[in-house]
Amino acid sequence: MPRDGDMRLFMDRAVPFPGGRVATLSRVMRGVWKTEQDGIGGVAEKHPVAVLVLVGERFQALTPSGDPMDRDEVEKLCPGAEARLRASAEA
């Protein structure tokens, strides 16, 4: 296991589609370490946590398996995610 790793939640860049936008929230883990043989090792993983969809003014959040997520849950995971998705539609 990496000794100097970190885990963060990121909102990927919003992607437009006709009538709306979609973005994912992903948990990203990275780590680098020195091996006993004076080499280095590393690992990186990215796992989707939520899919955010904006169609017109309608916001919806889903788990990667398609189950609905509550707005409060999204806000706890990534404060400001809905606002950033809405702002990306205005840009």
Structure tokens at 23: 């973005």
Q: Hey, what amino acid is at 91? A: A
Q: How confident is the model at residue 91 (pLDDT cuts 50, 70, 90)?
A: low
Considering the chain, what is the average pLDDT of its residues?
89
The single residue listed with the structure tokens 């990275």 is: 30
Confidence (pLDDT) at 31: 85
State the average pLDDT over residues 67-83. 94
Confidence (pLDDT) at 2: 42
The single residue listed with the structure tokens 């400001």 is: 80
Q: How confident is the model at residue 35 (pLDDT cuts 50, 70, 90)?
A: confident
Confidence (pLDDT) at 83: 95
Confidence (pLDDT) at 1: 40
Mode of pairing for the β-strands spanning 58-62 and 15-17:
unpaired
Q: How confident is the model at residue 79 (pLDDT cuts 50, 70, 90)?
A: very high
